[in-house]
Chain A
Amino acid sequence: MFSMPKKDAITFALFAIVVLSMPIWLSPFGASYPGLLQKFAIYALLAVGYNILFGLTGYLSFGHAAFLGVGSYAAVWSFKLLSMNPILAIAFAMVFSGIFALAIGYVSLRRSGIYFSILTLAFAQMSYKLAYSVLSPITHGENGLQLTLQDPRVIDLMFMERGVSLPTSSLFGIPMNGYEGFYFCAVILLIGFFIAQKITSSPFGMMLKGIKSNEDRMNYTGFNTKPYMLTAFVISGIYAGIAGGLLSVTDPLAGAERMQWTASGELVLMTILGGVGTLIGPVIGAWIIKYFENIFSAWNESILHNVFAFLPDNVEGIVVLISSKFVGEGWHLTLGLMFVLVVVFLPGGIMEGVRRIASWFSRRKDPTKDQEVTDPENMPKPSSKKGE
């Protein structure tokens, strides 16, 4: 079960090193604080799971935020009713998001293409609206579901006294809100990544890719594609549920806005930005978007003045004025522009960009090396120009 091709093993090892050393190599970027690191790991997991559905089968779901939300609520309820142990909470999140995904997937997968997207969107919006209104006893509506001092916490209270302050989630005594929390999320991310790798290279994964390239042909050759699709949908829903559970583990507060369709939209952005269908791509996309969201949005004009201080004064004023529209409050503008540019010029996302650069370098070693390399006109260009 744990044997894998050498290439995959190397990818996994590199990925593990990169993830686990994040607190070190992110500190020059000012992103090395636990709250953001946890988000990096959690949203990477979410994107990896989403990619199992969208990347492998090509079905564009606009409803994954619902599973994220269900996972969050399930985890917080597990904290409230049973124990502050994160593993129990994650298990709860998996079960509930899995059931939820099974139900939604069973109905939605009766249609494909844009109708599938609209169906998932409709279900997610229904969950969001209900979480705000009728289901308030479960979700606590706009206030969000949070821990209180009167929670039963049956299992925990068997072993210890009720404290005077709100408890935090802890794994057998290790608190889950600092770097320890990040490593807990990171380990789960690595497990998730490993499973995704396994799925991609398994016969099941091949089947999903077959569905993406031509579902009709798969049907004609005698495969009933629906069970495969449903399995993929549920697996990726469970990934989203775990991510939601982890969000609650690191910060035990679940709100309905996590289920809104724009949250699903953000997830799609992450996957596309990084590169659909690749394993690493969605992770990179998630990191970039979360980095922008947390770091870029905190920039303001005074920081920009420092950045552009080397420019002449009047030029600096103009540059700061223009660029201030793209940071801080306006970081969504940057995000939208970046996204449009990626879809137009690099439909494969950042991973395709990396591939193009790699092929550019490998062609430099061609026998036609005696050409003047500094002349851009004579450089062999990557020919895979899409979208024309």
Chain B
Amino acid sequence: MDAVILQVLNGLDKGGAYALIALGLTLVFGTLGVVNFAHGALFMIGAFCAVTFRKILTLEQVVLSETELSPWGTPLEIRTPFAQQWFGDFGNVLIDYSVPLSILLAIPVMLLIGIVMERGLIKHFYKRPHAEQILVTFGLAIVLQEIVKAFFGANPNPQPIPQVFLGAADLGAMVGMAEHVITYPKWRLVYLFFSLGVVAAVFAFLRFTTFGMVVRAGMSDRETVSMLGINIDKRFTIMFGIAAIVAGVAGVMYTPILPPDYTLGMDFLVLTFIVVVVGGMGSLPGAVLAGFTLGVVQSLASMTQVKDIIPGIDQIIIYLVAVVILLVRPRGLLGKRGVMEN
């Protein structure tokens, strides 16, 4: 039982990442009708925003010490980050919190990348068949991936967790169970709440703002909305930017869990596509639900008890679920009737 709870928790934070990427993917599909294979690359670029931010923060001034010598006889190099020099202790705090702080960098960068991508390339593909959309965004994903590789190399770039969130939280003890039974890394807990928060923010934005209302109206009937004199294209472009931000911040916060390298996007892409399809193309709640569900299902399947019964199930469970859903209920868990149902 404890093991099951632990695995569910494990699945939830992975599911959080799936849900956030799938949410963005669905936003793009629901508004623009474009199948965006480059969305995984946006997740990856977000992760590298965190890497860049930390690199900038930890730029160091190197001073050769005049008195001390290093073990091999040369003058000792004293390295102090500029941030520490300028801001003192506050600078150290900045460096410590580099990962969450890089969200501040990621938001404008991702918005810009998203809008440039939409206006520059994807705009031309609204009316083309889905196959061509897949192909052009697939090509774009390769390009983005290779650009990142050219700058950051092919090795993973591990990012540290802020001191406060190091270690594990004893969740079991908190709810009155025995101690040290259900412990869970604090950062993963942060990630889970973060992803829930972002999901809530996106839904609130669509539900409670005028902008969101117009976008929802445009999603259900684009032509009528534009006939009412609203520039729906512009709003959809901004929604693409928002989808990029969601993917980007999801990537930023995921860096301490999985050191990002340039293939990160492709690794997540296939899985999130399956999440979107399972949730139902074009359904936002479906994407979130399917994201968390598949995350949990995946980690439950990797329990040894399950693997003993069906060997190898943990490797393929997500694909298996996708196949079954597609065959039995092609519009997905929460998909609308008639939206890409055949």
CB of A343, distance to nearest CB on chain B (Å) = 4
The answer to whether A118 and B124 touch across the interface, beta carbons within 8 angstroms, is no
The answer to whether A344 and B124 touch across the interface, beta carbons within 8 angstroms, is yes
- Interface-lining segment among A128-136, A201-209, A242-250: A128-136
CB of B118, distance to nearest CB on chain A (Å) = 14
Interface bits A169-198 vs B (CB < 8 Å: 1, else 0): 000000000000000000000000000000
- Interface-lining segment among A24-32, A42-50, A84-92, A105-113: A105-113
Closest to B129 in A: A58
**Out of B142, B266, B273, B274, which one reaches A335, CB within 8 Å?**
B142
Q: Does B128 touch A at the CB level, under 8 Å?
A: yes
Interface residues of A in 92-122 (CB under 8 A from B): 107, 110-115, 117-119, 121-122
Distance of A29 Cα from B122 Cα, bound (Å):
36
Determine the chain A residues whose CB is within 8 A of the CB of B138 once the complex forms: 265, 268, 339
Determine the chain B residues whose CB is within 8 A of the CB of A269 once the complex forms: 139
Determine the chain B residues whose CB is within 8 A of the CB of A130 once the complex forms: 312, 315-316
Q: Does B320 touch A at the CB level, under 8 Å?
A: yes
Interface residues of B in 108-167 (CB under 8 A from A): 121, 124-125, 128, 130-132, 134-136, 138-143, 145-147, 149-150, 154
Report if A117-B315 is in contact (Cβ < 8 Å); known contacts: A122-B274, A332-B146: no
Determine the chain B residues whose CB is within 8 A of the CB of A114 once the complex forms: 35, 130, 134, 281, 340
The answer to whether A333 and B147 touch across the interface, beta carbons within 8 angstroms, is yes
The answer to whether B136 and A340 touch across the interface, beta carbons within 8 angstroms, is yes
Count of residues in B whose CB is under 8 Å from the partner chain: 42
Q: Does B178 touch A at the CB level, under 8 Å?
A: no
The answer to whether B134 and A60 touch across the interface, beta carbons within 8 angstroms, is yes
Interface residues of A in 241-274 (CB under 8 A from B): 261-262, 265, 268-269, 272
CB of B341, distance to nearest CB on chain A (Å) = 9
Report if A344-B121 is in contact (Cβ < 8 Å); known contacts: A119-B326, A330-B146: yes
Determine the chain B residues whose CB is within 8 A of the CB of A339 once the complex forms: 135, 138-139, 142
Distance of A16 Cα from B130 Cα, bound (Å):
36
Q: Does A380 touch B at the CB level, under 8 Å?
A: no
Distance of A348 Cα from B125 Cα, bound (Å):
15
Q: Does A126 touch B at the CB level, under 8 Å?
A: yes
Count of residues in A whose CB is under 8 Å from the partner chain: 44
- A contact patch SS: helix
Determine the chain B residues whose CB is within 8 A of the CB of A167 once the complex forms: none
Interface bits A353-375 vs B (CB < 8 Å: 1, else 0): 00000000000000000000000
**Out of A112, A117, A261, which one reaches B342, CB within 8 Å?**
A112
Interface residues of B in 317-341 (CB under 8 A from A): 319-320, 322-323, 326-327, 330, 340
Determine the chain A residues whose CB is within 8 A of the CB of B323 once the complex forms: 107, 119, 122-123
Distance of A147 Cα from B35 Cα, bound (Å):
43
Determine the chain A residues whose CB is within 8 A of the CB of B131 once the complex forms: 58, 60, 117
Q: Does B23 touch A at the CB level, under 8 Å?
A: no
The answer to whether B315 and A121 touch across the interface, beta carbons within 8 angstroms, is no
The answer to whether A118 and B128 touch across the interface, beta carbons within 8 angstroms, is no
The answer to whether B342 and A111 touch across the interface, beta carbons within 8 angstroms, is yes
Determine the chain B residues whose CB is within 8 A of the CB of A297 once the complex forms: none
The answer to whether B316 and A126 touch across the interface, beta carbons within 8 angstroms, is yes
Distance of A344 Cα from B342 Cα, bound (Å):
27
**Out of A118, A122, A336, which one reaches B139, CB within 8 Å?**
A336
Interface residues of A in 55-94 (CB under 8 A from B): 58, 60
The answer to whether A133 and B136 touch across the interface, beta carbons within 8 angstroms, is no
CB of B52, distance to nearest CB on chain A (Å) = 18
CB of B292, distance to nearest CB on chain A (Å) = 20
Determine the chain A residues whose CB is within 8 A of the CB of B128 once the complex forms: 347, 387
Report if A344-B136 is in contact (Cβ < 8 Å); known contacts: A110-B327, A118-B274: yes
Distance of A340 Cα from B342 Cα, bound (Å):
28
Q: Does B270 touch A at the CB level, under 8 Å?
A: yes
Report if A113-B330 is in contact (Cβ < 8 Å); known contacts: A133-B315, A344-B121: no
Q: Does A146 touch B at the CB level, under 8 Å?
A: no
Q: Does B197 touch A at the CB level, under 8 Å?
A: no
Report if A126-B319 is in contact (Cβ < 8 Å); known contacts: A118-B277, A134-B311, A340-B143: yes
Distance of A335 Cα from B143 Cα, bound (Å):
8
Interface residues of B in 45-75 (CB under 8 A from A): none
Closest to B316 in A: A126
Distance of A60 Cα from B311 Cα, bound (Å):
31
Q: Taking each of A118, A265, A325, which has the highest tally of chain B beta carbons within 10 Å of its own beta carbon?
A: A118
Interface bits B195-220 vs A (CB < 8 Å: 1, else 0): 00000000000000000000000000
Interface bits A135-161 vs B (CB < 8 Å: 1, else 0): 100000000000000000000000000
Distance of A272 Cα from B135 Cα, bound (Å):
9
Distance of A80 Cα from B128 Cα, bound (Å):
49
Report if A122-B312 is in contact (Cβ < 8 Å); known contacts: A112-B342, A336-B139, A336-B146: no
Report if A122-B327 is in contact (Cβ < 8 Å); known contacts: A60-B134, A339-B139: no
The answer to whether A330 and B35 touch across the interface, beta carbons within 8 angstroms, is no
CB of A352, distance to nearest CB on chain B (Å) = 13
A interface residues (Cβ-Cβ under 8 A, vs B)? 58, 60, 107, 110-115, 117-119, 121-123, 125-126, 129-130, 132-135, 261-262, 265, 268-269, 272, 325, 329-330, 332-333, 335-337, 339-340, 343-344, 347, 387-388
B interface residues (Cβ-Cβ under 8 A, vs A)? 35, 121, 124-125, 128, 130-132, 134-136, 138-143, 145-147, 149-150, 154, 266, 270, 273-274, 277, 281, 311-312, 315-316, 319-320, 322-323, 326-327, 330, 340, 342
What are 28 pairs between A and B in contact, CB < 8 Å? Answer: A111-B330, A113-B130, A114-B134, A114-B340, A115-B340, A115-B342, A117-B134, A118-B274, A119-B322, A121-B270, A125-B270, A125-B316, A126-B315, A126-B316, A132-B315, A134-B312, A134-B315, A135-B312, A261-B270, A268-B138, A332-B142, A336-B139, A336-B146, A340-B136, A340-B139, A343-B132, A343-B135, A343-B136
- Lowest 6 CB-CB distances: which A-B pairs, in order? A134-B312, A336-B142, A333-B146, A339-B139, A129-B315, A336-B143
Given contacts A110-B327, A115-B340, 11 further A-B contacts (CB under 8 A): A60-B134, A115-B326, A115-B342, A122-B323, A134-B312, A268-B135, A336-B140, A336-B141, A340-B136, A340-B143, A344-B136
